[in-house]
A = this chain, B = another copy of it.
């Protein structure tokens, strides 16, 4: 998308768009000739909607590329996920569901073991057991550094995500991890003024960590590397003229949607029913709603075909609450595929349904991978979905005469 080109064409309209994302929606049959999770699920409401929709397959980042939920969502939100890379530190934080804010500085952390003279004995503290790491992270999260909030979140074994939140922080901070044993960790150094201030706070923090962990063994210190912030993206309001809201339970999705200028709405509970209640409650206040369903991906990654199909059926049962709101545009898709047979994210393009009052219907009364492969939208780059949503919502004016 050429943002400058698009901004000239955006016009206001009194219309509402809903993007319903079932995480990891795309699937595979368990045996040749069989059905996918979505095809096996009984989905009368989505099938009825499909009959009056255009169908296709969403390609998150091009052929063969399996994406994480971060880039998968950036694409669904209209941004090229390869050009707008989310850095390693921010990715680690989003990956453990930290609700990362645009000004936060994130880094990847290791628990490590240092000798009395400060030289590194083991950069990974013997691949510290995860329960130990959780206990130590809890101790670290008691540490106070003036002017900022610092949070660490265990990832696995010795690894954790580090986030510093405060005013005017910089992310051009050098790694403290020297990447080899037998030497001292580096002090953090900043390469511009906000980053120098941030580096000083990082060093102050590490000094306090060393005191708190002094009596622990093997892990008695930490290493930090890959400092960064979320990429800076134009907001939905600025770029698409949309007052946009996000409805999600998990922090990662809140973080990515906040990144593109969506307002994250409170959900009273953690169920998908609770999310739909939020949609209903705020219906008058926004013109674009992103609603995220996590469990499809969870069961896909667990390799549980039946439970993934069951979640899809539960979502289907909620569709009447969505259509009762009479949205002008409804998009149902996923951020990537997570076939239960692969127990992981995959590159397979994702079923995509585009309903609107002015869509050219495909007359295919089924929402499923193979039905979508016959649809008129073809294989659509996920980043272009927003353009079709805006056009169908009457929010793009004609180009030229």
A400 interface residue, CB < 8 Å from B?
A: yes
Shortest distance in angstroms between A101's beta carbon and chain B's nearest beta carbon? 18
Counting every copy of the chain, the complex holds 2
> Which of A171-179, A259-267, A386-394 contacts the other chain?
A386-394
A396 within 8 A of B: yes
Which residues A164-195 have CB closer than 8 A to chain B?
none
Question: Residues 239-261 of chain A: 1 if any B CB is under 8 Å from the residue's CB, otherwise 0?
Answer: 00000000000000000000000
Q: How far is the CB of A112 from chain B (nearest CB, A)?
A: 23
Contact between A66 and B348 (Cβ–Cβ < 8 Å)?
no
B387 touches A62 (CB 8 A): yes
A217 at the interface (CB under 8 A from B): no
Q: Name which residue of chain B comes closest to A92, CB basis.
A: B401
Which chain B residue shows the least CB distance to A349? B376
Q: Which of B64, B369, B387 contacts A65 (CB 8 A)?
A: B387
Contact bitstring A29-55, B, C-beta under 8 A = 1, else 0: 100110010000000000000011000
Verify if A211 is at the interface (C-beta below 8 Å from B). no
Separation of A400 and B87 alpha carbons in the complex (Å): 9
- What mask results when residues 368 to 400 of chain A are scored 1 for a CB within 8 Å of chain B, else 0? 011001111111100010011111100011111
Q: Confirm or deny: A70 has a beta carbon within 8 angstroms of a beta carbon on chain B.
A: yes
B2 near A398 (CB under 8 angstroms)? no
Q: Which residues of B contact A71 (CB under 8 A)?
A: 399-400
Complex-state Cα separation, A401 to B67, whole angstroms = 7
Q: Is A207 interfacial (CB-CB < 8 Å)?
A: no
A363 touches B370 (CB 8 A): yes
- Determine whether the beta carbon of B370 is less than 8 Å from that of A64: no
> Which B residues are CB-close (under 8 A) to A5?
82
Of chain B, the residue at the smallest CB distance from A337 is B360
Query: Which candidate, A268-276, A280-288, A320-328, A339-347, is the interface stretch facing chain B?
Result: A339-347
Please state if B68 and A401 are interface contacts (CB–CB under 8 Å).
Answer: yes
Partner of A399, one of B67, B339, B370, B401: B67
Answer whether residue A358 sits at the interface, using C-beta atoms and an 8 A cutoff: yes
User: Do residues A398 and B345 form an inter-chain contact, with CB atoms below 8 A?
Assistant: yes
A22 interface contact, C-beta 8 A: no
The answer on a CB contact under 8 Å between B360 and A348 is yes
> Which listed residue (B57, B66, B346, B399) contacts A376, Cβ 8 A?
B57
A332 at interface, CB cutoff 8 A: no
- Whether the Cβ atoms of A401 and B91 lie closer than 8 Å is yes
- Of B339, B342, B349, B396, the contact of A64 (CB 8 Å cutoff): B396
Contact status of A28 and B64, CB under 8 A, knowing A69-B401, A401-B94: no
Q: Which residue of B lies closest to A348 (CB)?
A: B360
Cβ of A81 within 8 Å of any chain B Cβ, yes or no, is yes
Q: Is A309 an interface residue (CB 8 A)?
A: no
- Distance in angstroms between the alpha carbons of A358 and B360 in the assembled complex: 31
- Roughly how many angstroms separate A346 CA and B348 CA in the complex, as a whole number? 30
User: In chain B, what residue has the closest Cβ to A96?
Assistant: B401
8 contacts between A and B (CB under 8 A): A28-B360, A33-B51, A57-B376, A64-B390, A67-B399, A347-B388, A373-B376, A376-B379
